[in-house]
Structure 1
Amino acid sequence: MKGYGQFCPIAKACEALGERWTLLLIRELLCGSHRYNDFKRGLPLISPTMLSQRLNVLQQRGLVELRRSEDNKSREYHLTQAGLELEPIVMGLGEWGARWVRSQMSDDDLSVELLMWDMRRTINCAALPDCRTVLHFEFHDLGQPYRHWWMLAENDGIDLCVDDPGFDPDLHFISDLRTMTALWLGDTTIVAAESDDRLKICGASLLLRNLPEWFMFSGFAAVKSGLSDARGSG
């Protein structure tokens, strides 16, 4: 990236963070992704070459470091202190986006891979039964291989897959991608989506009753849009 030719700290920060994919890669690291395949699931459109380049640059800039995994069998990427200090900046940017530009989402912005990956990492396992819990999501507007998704929650961990794991689902969600995305972002509610026949949930009654306790929405879902206020004040 060509520099701005300015000593201003804002300009220098933009030079360090302004390249395509960089802030989203930091988002993934802040959300708990540490391995190459995790980054690919959170950033499905990034090419392997670009991902490697961005990780290398972040290491060179002192924002990311390589560590051995706890089992000492693989390498993991972790934020350094400099990288961790970006959290309020990145989350603040997300809050601004939720307040002012989330309504500009087009069909091209919809990504079932990112949606399912985000949902998977925010499920509250502590509120699920101690035994294995199988969640099946069906997107009736998508073709294979993205129509069916399964989450297997067991031992405080969740596996996400597009291949049938062979277990009967405890809960079955049927919807379309836009509705599930709107639900995840807080732009609609389960009650509203069900009443409009855009969402159907069926399965274990206990899971249905406790759904608000374990089915967590986006961290920005509670951010109120500022567009109506801005238009009203004009």
Structure 2
Amino acid sequence: MKGYGQFCPIAKACEALGERWTLLLIRELLCGSRRYNDFKRGLPLISPTMLSQRLNVLQDRGLVELKRSEDNKSREYHLTQAGLELEPIVMGLGEWGARWIRSQMSDDDLSVELLMWDMRRTINCSALPITRTVLHFEFKDLDKTYKHWWMLAENNEIDLCVDDPGFDADLHFVSDLRTMTEIWLGDTSVSQAEAVGKLAMKGSSQLIRHLPEWFMFSGFANVVRGVA
């Protein structure tokens, strides 16, 4: 990206972070993504070439580094100290967006891949049964490629699947993409969506009863909308 030709620290920071996808990659790293496939799930529209390029640039700028995984079988991307110090800036940007911009969400902004990946990484597994718990999400407005999603929680870990894992679902959600996104973002509640027939839950009454304990919403769900 061409520089601004200014010594101002704000200008230099914008040069380092202002390219397309860069801040969203920082978001993914702050949310725990470490490997290439994790980034692709959080950023489904980024091309493989662009992803590799942006990761290389972030390394060159000293914001990201490659480290060996705990099992020493692969390499993972981690934020450096400089990258970690971006957390309040990125989260503050998200809070501002939730307060002032989220009402402008169009159908083109809806992404079932990002929604399910976000929900998967915030599910509170410790509040679920120790034995395997299978959550099945059905989006009635999507085609068969993206219509069904499963989460398998076991031993305090959770996997996200787009293919039927072959286990009976303990809880089955039926909704549309916009409604589930609005629930996740805190723009409507589970009870409100159920009341107007936009959400149905079938299965374990215990899981439904304890839903607020294990189904965590977006970190920006409680941000109050601003009034212009």
> What is the TM-score when the length of structure 2 is the normalising length?
1.00
Count of matched residue positions in the alignment of Structure 1 and Structure 2 = 228
| 2:2 matches 1:6 | no
| Structure 1 position 202, deviation (Å) | 1.1
User: What CA RMSD, in Å, does the superposition of the two structures yield over aligned residues?
Assistant: 0.4
Partners in 2 of 1:4 and 1:144 — Cα distance? 47
Residue 207 of structure 1: aligned partner: 207
Runs of 5+ consecutive residues of structure 1 not aligned to the other structure: none
Runs of 5+ consecutive residues of structure 2 not aligned to the other structure: none
Residue 218 of structure 2: aligned partner: 218
Residue 75 of structure 1: aligned partner: 75
Q: Which amino acid aligns with 1:53?
A: Q
| 2:118 matches 1:118 | yes
Partners in 2 of 1:184 and 1:206 — Cα distance? 21
Report the secondary structure of 2:165's partner residue: coil
Residue 152 of structure 2: aligned partner: 152
Partners in 2 of 1:186 and 1:209 — Cα distance? 19
Moved over 3 A (4+): none
The superposition leaves residues 160-191 of structure 1 with CA deviations (integer Å, 9 ceiling, x where unpaired) of 01100000000000000000000000000001
Q: Which amino acid aligns with 1:155?
A: N
Residue 195 of structure 1: aligned partner: 195
Q: Which amino acid aligns with 1:26?
A: I
Q: Percent identity?
A: 84
Residue 23 of structure 2: aligned partner: 23
Residue 47 of structure 2: aligned partner: 47
The superposition leaves residues 4-49 of structure 1 with CA deviations (integer Å, 9 ceiling, x where unpaired) of 0000000000000000000000000000000000000000000000
Report the secondary structure of 1:73's partner residue: coil
Partners in 1 of 2:154 and 2:32 — Cα distance? 19
> What is the TM-score when the length of structure 1 is the normalising length?
0.97
Q: Which amino acid aligns with 1:37?
A: N
